[in-house]
Each structure stands twice: as C-alpha cells, then as structure tokens.
Chains A and B, each alone.
Chain A
C-alpha cells in the first residue's frame, strides 16, 4: 500500500485540512459524550446508587414518582419468594430554605427521599451520622448540597408547614432530575409531602425499593397490584430524562451523519482528482480489490489519526469544564464516540468506491488523445 501512504505525505496540505475537520468533529464528539453521560448521571445517579434491582410503581405512573402512590403496606404484600429486600420509598421535589442561623436564608432544590431509618436503602454517611439513631426530622444530604454550602447542623425548611429538617450527615447519594438528593425518615417525609397521606390519614409512599433474586420475575408486582420496573427502566420517569437522552442522541446521530457526508464529499473529490492515477494502476493490472483497498486504507489512516488527535484534544478541553456542568467522561463513552466516528467516516468513503471501480484503465492511454 505504497501509494496510499506516500500520497498522504505528498498531498499533506489537503489531508491536513480534512484531518483537521475530522479531528474537530472527534473533539466535539468527546464533549457531547461527556455531556450525554453527565446529563444521564445528573438525572438519575440518585437512583443508580440505590442498592436495588427494581422499583415498584403505581400502574400507569410511567416510573414518575410524583404520579405514583401506593399504601405503605404494599411493602409487606410484595415480600415473599424472589424478593430479597423490600423497603418503602417516598420521592418528592422541594424548594428548601437553608437556615444557617443569622445569615439571610438561601433557597436550594432538593429531591427528598423518604425511607425507613433502618431500611436497606437508608444512606451510609461519609460525614456526620446516618438516619438511624438520629433525632427528630433528620436529613442526610448529598455531597452536591454540601458543595453548595449546606453543613451538618444546618436546617432545611421544607413544605407548606415550613417544617425544619436537621442536617445530620452527608452521603454520596447523587442527584435525581438534576436536583441534589437528600434523605429523611419516612414519617417526616409523609408529614412534609402534600398528598403523602390519604384523607383518612393512611400513609402513602411513592414506590417500593426492591432487591429481587436473580431468578425472580417482575410478576412479583401482582402481589400488591403494582408495576415492578428494573432500576434502569425507572430512569425514564426522571424529570427531563427522556427528552434529554433523545436530544443528545439526535445531536450525536447528526454529528455522525455529517461526518460521513463530509468524508464522502472529500473522498469523492479526491477520487475524481486521482482518476488518472487509478486508471494507470488498472492498466498495470491492479485488481479492483487492490485499488479500492489502497483508497480505503488512506481513509482509515486519516480517520484514525484525526480521531485520536481530536479525542485527546477533547479530553483536554473536557478536563477544564466547570465542575457544576453535567459532564462525565467515561472510557466506554469516549472510545465509543471515536469508534463511531471512524465507522461513519468509512461508511461515507464507500460512496467513492463506485467511482474507483468504474475508472476505465484506458484513461492511462487517454493522455495521448
């Protein structure tokens, strides 16, 4: 494949230009991959980090906690064969006033998770204490809230009755619907959440956290007349999740289509310019396979080098992203974006293949006509 390699060097201006375009696309691909994973993380890490396999929802609620209610005794009905752990879970979004004594109260968003103090989903603190054994109206906040300045000993005031929750600990509980998660005990949660009790005073929860044994089926939901969804399925109900993932997929899909078209256009023009050379190769008896292989190797070298360079640049750029931005780089998403770009480029270059195979070797003699 002498020609492919030498042409890259001799026509370096043109390939550099094309390589720059591909590298920039690769860079954008890294940023979008980081953003896509970051957004998913920001929307669902509060659920991802739950030690559960499944969550139960009210039928028809489509995994949306704010539309899902079930009596607290659903937990007991669900227990049985195949269910290793079951615990009630309340989820509601609040605007909380941060009382730090003295200073002007600041408003923070919280996704308030209500759990039984001793349950298997009760958070493990990294600072302060957990819910178990703490005083009345305790709240364990996520690291993000701590980063916003909330400290152990502060109070978060929530609900129509302005109930003060006492910050007792900090835990790595993530975010839900782009809002930091905070855990409180179930009775406090029912007290502050509108509609968390029936008019007759029966307690309601949003969901039941379940740990099913590997062979158990989601049919266990029938025991309590609820839908049992896998943890991943329940992400769909996170506010904005479906729209965000669809939008990100659309943008990334478009980027790949654009890459394919750009490479297609470049290699079509390049092939037209190389027509004499291709004709000459064929006159010398080169097979279609050789001529096409030579051209594709050139595309592949260009794509791989440009993608690697662009990806590295994207990683550098990603590392200086502001910490608040929902941006998470994972090896698989970055590598996946790079591979997808190379594949899209190769597919794009396929449009030039017809042009290569259809060159008549007679053009080698044509210069004399």
Chain B
C-alpha cells in the first residue's frame, strides 16, 4: 500500500500532487489543512471590478470547525471557491494540506480537490439519479476505483449521520435535512483533509440548522478534517471551535 505522502510546507514549489489512496484509509500526518495568506479576489463584472475577497488570512487546523458568518454578498462563496481550488485568487497564497496551489495546473487542481477536499453545497449538490449509497460510491469511482470494496465504509458513514435506513433512497425521496446529511457523508467519503460547506443550512428550519452544525462539528472532530462552514445563519454557532465574521471580503474575529 502506498503511504499517503503529503507535500511538506516550505518544500518549495510542489508541482505534482502525490497520488494518494485516501479511500483505503491509510493513516497520515496531515499538516495544517488550509492556509490562506493575503488572499485577494477581484471579479471582473463588465467594466467594473468587484473586490470579493480583500486580504484574507486564514489558517484552519485538522479537526477544527471554523464557522464564517457573513451577509449575502460578503464573499462567502468566493472564499470557499478559492479555498476549494475552484478559483485562483487574484493575489495571495493558498495551501491545502501543505500544497501551494499557485503553481498547479488545472488537472492538478482537479486531482487535489478529489484527494484532499470534500464539498457540501448549499442545496446538497446531490445527483438526482443516485441513491444515498451510490452518492458515496461515486466518490470512489471518480477516484478511479471499483465501488464494491468501498461499500462497507460508505454504509458506515451514512449510518454515522443517521441515515442507516435511507441507503437506497434517492434525493427526491429524502427530506432537506436528510439530503444535507448525505452530502456530509459524501464529503467525508474521500477522507479529505479539508471540508468546505457553503450555507448548508440555507434550506433548513432553525432546529435542523443547529443540528446540521452539530453534526458537522461531530464529524470534523471524529475524522480530523479541517472544516470551514460559511453561512449567514447564526443558528448552532455554539458548536463551532471558532467563529469569524466576513464583511465586504474582510475577515474579523467574531
């Protein structure tokens, strides 16, 4: 079994992502999962420029749940896009599990998302045609592996989020809260170093929202992932290890 080799910080430009076999569950030394330094992101909107992120410095360690709260348009999705290797910042540096993203090519960013990052999107981002279990098995398939050997783990993850009896239900057969829990289990399937959640409680009522944050805290601590949850919804903040506020693209301690 190939050991998980995470590129070390300070190792200079890391051009290649070492192939990792996260799904098979090898233990690994994980460096600070997310490090953003002086990150600026400008969106060009026709002739105008919108400064979505204005000097973000953020470090999230493994096993830590950071909740970032900010109003609509404050740059929450932009922050996740940059932290999630979906968008290159205009300036500043981003490291994920020690790998500096600046020098990576498109395909390498894609591989890094696959091997290091789990996403939870606002409306779940589930595939309508797949059952809960298949949503998780798809993660193995995307990583180029056979689904069958990962079945047990997928079932376990779904049981952990309280969906043991919903394995074969498709998204349209699940409630909003259940869909979000499938999304959490799926995000954990690839053993990510970094878990990013974009307003996962937006479509939930207040008590479900608090439960969702609690679930994320629990899973974050259990799996040792670094989790960033962005939201405009103050429910469940007590479960966070750290709460930050985002206003006009600038982060402040709450």
Which residues of A are at the interface with B, using a C-beta cutoff of 8 A? 1-3, 6-7, 9-11, 277, 280-288, 290, 361-362, 364-365, 367-369
Report Cα–Cα, A284/B127, bound state, in Å.
Answer: 12
- Of the candidates A277, A281, A361, A367, the one whose C-beta lies within 8 Å of that of B142 is A281
Selecting from B60-68, B112-120, B157-165, B219-227, the interface stretch reads: B112-120
**Contact of A362 with B87 at beta-carbon distance under 8 Å, contacts A3-B130, A282-B110, A286-B142 already known:** yes
Asked if A285 and B112 make an inter-chain contact with CB atoms under 8 angstroms apart, the answer reads yes
Q: Would you list the 6 A-B pairs with minimal beta carbon distance, nearest first?
A: A285-B114, A10-B129, A285-B113, A6-B129, A368-B122, A286-B142
Asked if B125 and A280 make an inter-chain contact with CB atoms under 8 angstroms apart, the answer reads yes
Which residues of B are at the interface with A, using a C-beta cutoff of 8 A? 76-77, 80-81, 84, 86-87, 107, 110-115, 117, 119, 121-123, 125, 127-130, 134, 137-139, 141-144, 147, 170, 198-199, 202
Report Cα–Cα, A283/B199, bound state, in Å.
Answer: 16
Provide the residues of chain B in CB contact with A362, threshold 8 Å.
81, 86-87
Report Cα–Cα, A152/B132, bound state, in Å.
Answer: 78
Measured between C-beta atoms, what is the minimum distance from B85 to chain A in Å?
Answer: 9
Asked if B113 and A369 make an inter-chain contact with CB atoms under 8 angstroms apart, the answer reads no
**Contact of A6 with B107 at beta-carbon distance under 8 Å, contacts A284-B119, A365-B77 already known:** no
Asked if B81 and A9 make an inter-chain contact with CB atoms under 8 angstroms apart, the answer reads no
Asked if A2 and B138 make an inter-chain contact with CB atoms under 8 angstroms apart, the answer reads yes
- Of the candidates B84, B129, B143, the one whose C-beta lies within 8 Å of that of A3 is B129
Provide the residues of chain B in CB contact with A285, threshold 8 Å.
110-115, 117, 142-143
Asked if A364 and B121 make an inter-chain contact with CB atoms under 8 angstroms apart, the answer reads yes
Among residues of B, the one whose C-beta sits closest to the C-beta of A10 is B129
Report Cα–Cα, A1/B130, bound state, in Å.
Answer: 11
Among residues of A, the one whose C-beta sits closest to the C-beta of B81 is A365
- Of the candidates B114, B122, B125, B202, the one whose C-beta lies within 8 Å of that of A286 is B114
Report Cα–Cα, A365/B85, bound state, in Å.
Answer: 12
Asked if B77 and A369 make an inter-chain contact with CB atoms under 8 angstroms apart, the answer reads yes
Provide the residues of chain B in CB contact with A11, threshold 8 Å.
129
Provide the residues of chain B in CB contact with A6, threshold 8 Å.
127, 129-130, 134
| Complex A-B: 27 CB contacts under 8 Å | A2-B134, A2-B137, A3-B129, A3-B130, A3-B138, A277-B127, A280-B121, A280-B125, A280-B127, A283-B119, A283-B125, A285-B114, A285-B115, A285-B143, A286-B114, A287-B107, A362-B81, A362-B87, A364-B125, A365-B81, A365-B84, A365-B198, A367-B123, A367-B125, A368-B198, A368-B199, A369-B77
Provide the residues of chain A in CB contact with B84, threshold 8 Å.
283, 365
Report Cα–Cα, A6/B141, bound state, in Å.
Answer: 14
Among residues of A, the one whose C-beta sits closest to the C-beta of B170 is A10
Among residues of A, the one whose C-beta sits closest to the C-beta of B186 is A284
Provide the residues of chain A in CB contact with B111, threshold 8 Å.
285, 287
- Of the candidates A3, A282, A368, A369, the one whose C-beta lies within 8 Å of that of B127 is A3
Apart from A1-B141, A6-B129, A362-B81, what are 12 other A-B pairs with CB-CB below 8 Å?
A3-B127, A3-B130, A11-B129, A277-B128, A283-B113, A283-B125, A284-B113, A285-B111, A285-B112, A285-B113, A290-B144, A361-B113
Provide the residues of chain B in CB contact with A368, threshold 8 Å.
76-77, 121-122, 198-199, 202
Asked if B110 and A286 make an inter-chain contact with CB atoms under 8 angstroms apart, the answer reads yes
Provide the residues of chain A in CB contact with B77, threshold 8 Å.
365, 368-369
Provide the residues of chain B in CB contact with A369, threshold 8 Å.
77
Report Cα–Cα, A339/B143, bound state, in Å.
Answer: 32
Asked if A284 and B114 make an inter-chain contact with CB atoms under 8 angstroms apart, the answer reads yes
Among residues of B, the one whose C-beta sits closest to the C-beta of A5 is B129
Most chain B beta-carbon neighbours within 10 Å: one of A285, A290, A362, A364: A285
Provide the residues of chain B in CB contact with A290, threshold 8 Å.
141-142, 144
Provide the residues of chain A in CB contact with B202, threshold 8 Å.
368
Provide the residues of chain B in CB contact with A282, threshold 8 Å.
110
Asked if A367 and B130 make an inter-chain contact with CB atoms under 8 angstroms apart, the answer reads no
Most chain B beta-carbon neighbours within 10 Å: one of A3, A9, A280, A361: A361
Among residues of B, the one whose C-beta sits closest to the C-beta of A276 is B125
Measured between C-beta atoms, what is the minimum distance from B15 to chain A in Å?
Answer: 18
Report Cα–Cα, A298/B127, bound state, in Å.
Answer: 16
Report Cα–Cα, A11/B114, bound state, in Å.
Answer: 27
Asked if B119 and A364 make an inter-chain contact with CB atoms under 8 angstroms apart, the answer reads yes
Among residues of A, the one whose C-beta sits closest to the C-beta of B172 is A10
Measured between C-beta atoms, what is the minimum distance from B195 to chain A in Å?
Answer: 13
Asked if A2 and B147 make an inter-chain contact with CB atoms under 8 angstroms apart, the answer reads yes
Report Cα–Cα, A283/B186, bound state, in Å.
Answer: 13
Provide the residues of chain B in CB contact with A1, threshold 8 Å.
141
Provide the residues of chain A in CB contact with B123, threshold 8 Å.
367
Report Cα–Cα, A364/B76, bound state, in Å.
Answer: 14
**Contact of A367 with B129 at beta-carbon distance under 8 Å, contacts A284-B113, A285-B142 already known:** no
